[in-house]
Amino acid sequence: MRKSIVLRCVLTCLFFLSSLSLLSIPAGAEQAAAANGRNPIVLVHGIGGAGFNFASIERALINEGYSRSDLYAIDFLDKSGNNITNSRQLSSYIDDVLRKTGASQVDIIAHSMGGANTLYYINNLGGGKNIGKVITLGSPNRLVARSAPTGIAYTSIYSTSDLIVNNALSPLNGANNIRIFGVTHIGLLIDRGVQSHIMNALK
């Protein structure tokens, strides 16, 4: 049984990595993304991740009418998921995105520990004023808080098939908590059903 689970995880990761070469889209450009009436989107990866992890989600967003200049994917220097160091880098990054685009707020899509880093930034570094919507994917949000920050449209998407982050850590009081089935932790980044939930949450 254990070998079967490991094999499925490995196959999922291989499929994910192979998809990157087909779906990779540059995230961000120094243009006024706010001109189309939408907030620019900041993509926040998890432990050991990178901005290119969101390639499939970027493609889905572009298919929904977002431009490449709407999308900004951070690459944390600290890959350990540390809330303190990553929230500081995220704060500087979001300030830079707002300056480049002229927007007053960004929306955030965060995977795994990137969601906890985002929540820490909001709750401890005064980031709430800079954010309109937050969508987390398989994030251990409750490592930081039990409730979603007020004034922000918060959505937490998590899967019962996630063997990395305990489901009990993802829901937040006051958030739109969406529990799905059959999608692995990495699969949350490429699943079309998840992408549909993301698009609905951004409306």
Taking only the tens place, the pLDDT of each residue in 73-102 is: 999 999 999 999 999 999 999 999 999 999
What's the per-residue H, E or C state across the chain? CHHHHHHHHHHHHHHHHHHHHHHCCCCCCCCCHHHHCCCCEEEECCCCCCHHHHHHHHHHHHHCCCCHHHEEECCCCCCCCCHHHHHHHHHHHHHHHHHHHCCCCEEEEEECHHHHHHHHHHHHCCHHHHEEEEEEECCCHHHCCCECCCCCEEEEEEECCCCCCCHHHCCCECCEEEEECCCCCHHHHCCHHHHHHHHHHHC
User: What is the chain's mean pLDDT, rounded?
Assistant: 88
Residues, the chain: 203
Asked if the model's pLDDT at residue 14 lies above 60, the reply is no
Does residue 162 carry a catalytic annotation? yes
| Pair 190, 56: CB distance under 8 Å | yes
pLDDT class of 37 with cuts at 50, 70, 90: confident
Number of domains, the chain: 1
In terms of residue numbers, what domain contains 86? 2-202
Does residue 147 carry a catalytic annotation? no
Quote the pLDDT of residue 36.
Answer: 67
Cβ-based neighbours of 193, under 8 Å, separated by 6 or more: 180, 183
Output the pTM of the full model.
0.84
> What does the CA dihedral 129, 79, 47, 12 come to, rounded to 10 degrees?
130
Asked if the model's pLDDT at residue 16 lies above 90, the reply is no
More confident residue, 93 or 30: 93
Asked if the model's pLDDT at residue 34 lies above 60, the reply is no
* CA–CA distance, 38 with 113 (Å, rounded to integer): 26
- CATH number at 90 reads 3.40.50.1820
**Looking up tokens 């990553």, which residue turns up?**
86
Quote the pLDDT of residue 121.
Answer: 98
More confident residue, 189 or 16: 189
Catalytic, out of 112, 139, 156, 170:
112
More confident residue, 6 or 190: 190
Does residue 185 carry a catalytic annotation? yes
| Pair 144, 123: CB distance under 8 Å | yes
Catalytic, out of 56, 69, 185, 191:
185
Catalytic, out of 159, 162, 170, 191:
162
